[in-house]
Amino acid sequence: MQPLTSKEMSYISDSLSNEDLLMKQSAHLAAISQHPQVRQVFTQLVQRHQQHHQHLMQELQNHQTVAPSQLQ
């Protein structure tokens, strides 16, 4: 496995921030929605964005063992 480039790390960092924001927005919209079906859609979106966030974090953890060699 090759180390991530700084551009890739920046992209992943931006993606994590975006997923976090989308989770918060979806959760807020689910909380204020009065229509059960709309609430369900936003709840599903929260779960989907949590999965995306977890996947990105797993990828970072997979590359963590390679990262120190990149700094030296």
pLDDT tens string 31-69: 999 999 999 999 999 999 999 999 999 988 888 766 655
DSSP calls for 20-59: HHHHHHHHHHHHH--SHHHHHHHHHHHHHHHHHHHHHHHH
pLDDT given for residue 72 in this prediction: 46
Phi, psi of 42 (to 5 degrees): -70, -35
Total residue count of the chain as it appears in this document: 72
Spacing of C-alpha 43 from chain mean position: 16
What's this model's pTM, rounded to 2 decimal places?
A: 0.82
